[in-house]
Amino acid sequence: MSPIEEEIIRKKIAVMIDNLKALEPIMNMTTEDYIEELYKRKATERLLQELIEAAIDVNTYLIVQTGNTIPDDYYESFIKIGELKIISLELAEKLAPSAGLRNRLVHEYDRLEHSIVLDAVRTAENLYPQYVKQIEDYISVNR
């Protein structure tokens, strides 16, 4: 992997790490408190969207760099990097549904269930650090 390619991925990882840190205080909120805090809700939705989009960008970039075609949808981008052993298939399968959340965040603001978004924060805080680690491990082996 060339220094330019690695830098592209590292910029996306930095976005993910920053967003995960910003989401930490939300993780422990009750649903009632979360619902009452309009600005926190909107910030949370945007931070989750950016987090997921950064991962999708990394997925797509690495899939193309390995000589494969871009999957038809974002969900499949997670599955494909699992199949390519860039990350574990088990983790890929757990993260793939976040692509659907991203689509709901972007396209259906008025129909979001707050409890689902709050649960997604907790899931993201658990799974995305594993994703970052596995991507960093892949980068370090494929320099």
Q: What local confidence, expressed as pLDDT, does residue 107 receive?
A: 82
Using one digit for the tens of pLDDT, what is the confidence trace for 10-58? 999 999 999 999 999 999 999 999 999 999 999 999 999 999 999 999 9
Domain with 35 in it: 3-141
* Overall domain count for the chain: 1
Cα(127)–Cα(95) distance, rounded to whole angstroms? 7
Compare 114 and 91 and report the one with higher pLDDT. Answer: 91
Across the chain, what does the average pLDDT equal? 93
**Residues annotated catalytic, as ranges:** 102, 107
CATH number for the domain spanning 80: value is 1.20.120.580
Q: Percent of the chain scored above 70 by pLDDT?
A: 96
Q: What local confidence, expressed as pLDDT, does residue 1 receive?
A: 59
Those residues whose C-beta lies under 8 Å from the C-beta of residue 81, and which sit 6 or more positions away, are 59, 62, 63, 87, 92
